Chain A
Amino acid sequence: MRILMIEDDAALARSIAALLRAGGNAVDHVATGAEALAVVAGEPYALVILDVGLPDIDGFTVLERLRRRGDKVPVLMLTARDALDDRVRGLDLGADDYLRKPFEPEELEARVRALGRRRGGDPLPTLSVGALTINRSSGGADVAGRRLDLRRRERAVLEALATRAGRVVPRELLIGEVFGFDEPVGDNAIEVHVTRLRGKLAPDGPMIRTVRGVGYMLDAG
C-alpha cells in the first residue's frame, strides 16, 4: 500500500522506508509538516506515519490540521517522548496508533499492516478471492494450496486488486497505491506487473480482466 512518512531525521527516514518497501509498500518521505500537509491532500495514501518532533510545525499540529479538513487517512504517530500525556493527546487528536522510539521493526510492520487492513474495512489478516488466499501479515499468497512466488510490486498490485475484487480499479489509483511519487513510473509499468501476475495465477486462480481505457478488475469467486 501507499504510505506517507513524515520524519525529519534523514537516517531514520531511509531506514523506515527501506523496511516498509521490503514489505511491498510504496513509501513517500517528507521532512517537514508543511510539506506533509501539501502532499497528503493530493495522493491516495493508505497510511501516514507521523513523527511528533518536526522542525517546523510539530506532529500534533499536523494531525490536527489534517483531521480538521476532514482527512480520514489512518495516522501512526512516532515519538521519542515518554510522557503518557503525549500519547493520550495524540490519540485524542485523531491518531489511529502510537509507537515510541526506539521501536521493534516487527512491531512497526505489524501495526502498519493492521492499520492498512482496517482502512479496507476488513480487519481479517487473510483475504480470499476464489481459490486465491492472501496472507496480509506475512505477505504470502496461495492459489489452491500452491504457493505463489511474487515480487514486491506484484504483491502490491495483487493486494490492491483483491481488496476490491469484483470492482474495476482505475489504473491511476493502482499506480498511486503501488508507486511512491519519486519512483519512475513507465507507461506500461502496471501492464508488466499485471501480465506477470496473470501468468502466476493461471490456471486455477481468479482472472484479472483488463477494462480498456479504465483499469483492471479481479474476478470475484
Chain B
Amino acid sequence: MQIYLPIAEVSVNAFLLLGLGGLVGILSGMFGVGGGFLMTPLLFMIGIPPAVAVATEANQIVASSFSGVLAHFKRKTVDLRMGFVLLVGGLLGAALGVQVFALLRELGQVDLLVRLCYVLFLGIIGGLMFIESLNAIRKSRSAGPAPRTVRRQRGWIHALPLKMKFRTSGLYISVIPPFLVGFFVGILAAIMGVGGGFIMVPAMIYLLGMPTKVVVGTSLFQIIFVTAFATMLHATTNYTVDMVLAVLLLVGGVVGAQIGTRIGVRMKAEQLRILLALMVLAVCGKLALDLLLEPAELYSIGTGGHG
C-alpha cells in the first residue's frame, strides 16, 4: 500500500515503514538506544529527504523511547536523579548543537562531517564494547559464575566536587561527569540527528560505572526530552517534521520496543552488549566504505541553495 507523505513529498510503501519502525523498535527496547543511528540512514536509503528523515526521526524516537521508559519505570530501573542531571546537560548541548549545525551548513560540508562523526563514534564505541564484552564472556566462562572481580575503580571521577547520591545506581559521585556526558550527547544528537543512546549507554557503563540494567531506562528517560526538544526546534525552524511518516514509524516502533524490552530482560548483559557492539560496528563499516570506495555517481543533487 503506497502512501504519500505530505512533508517529505514522496510516496512510500506503508508496510515498509511499519516494518522498519518495528525492527528498530525491537533494538530500541533491547539496548536502550533510540535506534536513530540505524533508522536515519535507513530512511535516506528508501528515499526520504535527509532533512525530513532527521527531524522526523527525532519525533519517532520520542514515541519509541516513551513506551520503553514506561516499561522500565514499572521495573524501577530508571535512576531519575541521574536522568535529570543528564537531561540538563542534554538540553544545553542540543541548543548548542543546533547552532554548530547551522554554522557547518554555511561552510557547506555538513554531510561529510555528519558521516565522519558517525564513523568515528560508532567505530570507537563499537570496538571498545566488543572487546570489553568479549573479555567479560571469556572471564565468566573460565571462572564460572564467580562475581566480577573489579567492581568500580576509584579514579579521577571520584575526586571531583559537587558530589551527589544516586541511590538507584548505588553511586556517590560528582554531578560534573554525568552533566558533561549529557551535554556532549546533546550536541551530537543535534548534529547527527539521533537520540544519542549508543554513545550515552557505554559512557554511563564505563565512565560513570552505572549498573547496566539501570543504564537503559535512564538513558531512555534523557533521550525522550532531548529528542522532544529537537523535534520542536526542527518543526519551528525547518518545517521538516513529517507527522504521517512519524506515525507510521512509531506504530511499528512502539510495538517493537515492547517486544525488545522483554527480550532484553531475558538476556545476559554481556550478550546484550556484544550484540549492540556488532551492530554499531556494522553500521560504522557501511558508512566508512561509502567514504572510502569510489562512488558510482560522483555527482549529487541537493535542493535549495545550500543542502
A and B co-occur in one complex: no
